[in-house]
Structure 1
Amino acid sequence: MPLTDTQIRSLKPESRPYKRADANGLYIEVRPTGAKLWRYKYGFMGKDNRIALGLYPEVSLAEARRLRDDARRKLRDGIDPLAERKRDKLVAQYRAANTFGDIAKEYIDKSVADGRADATTVKANWLLDQLKPIAAMPVADLKPVEVLAALKKIEARGKYETARRARSFASRVFRYAVATGRGESDPTAVLRGALIAPRVTHHAALLEPEAVGAFLRTIDGYTGNAITRLGCQIAPHVMARPGEMRKALWPEIDFEHAVWSIPAERMKMRRPHAVPLSRQVIAYLKQLHELTGPEGFVFPAFHTSRRPMSENTLNQAFRRMGYSRVRLKT
């Protein structure tokens, strides 16, 4: 016989859980604590499942029957109500992580999984730190004026280029939020032109042959550390970024074919790169090989061979030579 409210109210707790059936798979489970939990038992794809429908009396008898009937309709449509509930819960949790900071961290994690360079990841985390004023705000609620206010705080410190980069980073995060169903638009799109344009600083360049010759002769006469001198001598010939060069490994150098093969993970564009080596560079590398080869880093740190040369070593050497405005770009 189907249950009645009077019968349910009269059910008393016992030392072990027990249940009383209603109809069509609906039953109520009485716990030793006195709690009364509605459950619906059903079969799907040859397996028995149970789904909780709520606590009595918060969920009344009539409401429990309605929820059971809803579940039965889903079963007729070939839908497992328990699997659907789990899926809805995961979607709700996913959508709950909807602050700008949450989505930005997720976007950065995705970039790491996509194989982006470590330096790119570090810069992204740094830019996120610059955008702290909006990090805790729901991304769908952020308005252009609120993003602009955060960017203007960066500008107020005189960091015009940082503000520009932060706007670009925020735009990528907003577009990712839209793509994953947690945002409606990119509010930074209307901020183009709202920030102070940074002044372009042109770094010194050696353009005249005589000046280039004098520069190379100065390097040849450098009296500091031999490894540093050889690094300075090689740098103008290979045109590699300092991060690529200082982390070079001896197995990457092919003396026979005069090629330096840089793996994809050290390249900014994440593609392997082959650098042809001139006879001058080969000569410098042979000198280096006697100092730091045959394994490990071509340009090791001064204090340990297990780490590469510091990123500022060559630039500092150029400054000591009198070329204070010459700088190798990272």
Structure 2
Amino acid sequence: MTRVVRFHQHGGPEALRIEKVDLPPPGQGEVQIRVRAFGLNRAEALLRAGSYIETPSLPSGLGLEAAGVIEAIGEGVTGLAPGDAVSVVPPQSMVRWPAYGELVIFPAGLIVKHPPSLDWQTAAAVWMQYLTAYGALIDIARLNSRDAVVITAASSSVGLAAIQIANRVGATAIAVTRTSAKRQALLVAGAAEVVVLADEDLAMRLSGIAGQDGVRVVLDAVGGPIFEPLTAAMSKGGILIEYGGLSSDPTPFPLPAVLGKTLTLRGYLVHEITGNPEKLEAAKAFILGGIEDGTLRPIIDRTFPFDQIVEAHRYLESNEQFGKIVVTV
């Protein structure tokens, strides 16, 4: 038997339980991994609370990314062997392929031999954040050195990944954050400008930074009332990519800006990359290249031991973190 994290009813962090279960051997095309660390993501808190895009049967496991050592491989798996140090690309269903456990099973196509320079905690913090930011900024928006990009929820792991990716392609990263508490850290992390919502008028400040041309690309995880000032500061033909929806307030449709500037407002899920083998290979090459040359550096805020998974989820929901939260096993 092995220990895994599950929840039997939707609720807060206290709904999570560590339980012993029988894990079957890996099947055709599958790999079993002994986990050394796994990363936490907002999606997992939403699944636990019952407000995620996926509806689980209960009890349910959860988790989207992990790093560890291959314990066993199923039939038909090539290029991987027991003992390999690997990390996991987020699956399309964390209910089907949960990552919170001492032993987990994933499709071989989602397994990456990570660079030996990465420790377990860092390897567990790579794929969700960089694949999300890459898919939005590089695959969809075609961000380039002539662009400025506005990044909301900038101190999240995806926000920080987006700042690094923008810098890697020579674009100007404009970070948006709720309070001034993380302003200096965002500048140190590579943001060219930081806009503090509590202290500044968002549309006015963005217009001051971008000038009359406006901002072509916006990466937003929040929605809600900031939609209108964000679009007000965008350029003609600009694109706003929405990947989160963290605000509990209604999101207005900014009709005058959308029509007047012929804007594109686009919803985005990382599954658009992970579910497309060709796009996934291009993303992996970009991300691994950035890790190897040092332009992409996962920022880990805090680590928790496996037995403190409830406390780790409480911290995840506190919004106090700067970067990734990782659990060691």
Same fold (TM over 0.5): no
Between structure 1 and structure 2, the one with the greater Rg is: 1
* TM band (smaller chain): under 0.3
Q: Which has the larger strand fraction?
A: 2
Higher relative contact order structure (alpha carbons within 8 Å, sequence separation ≥ 6): 2
Q: TM-score, normalised by structure 1?
A: 0.25
Q: TM-score, normalised by structure 2?
A: 0.25
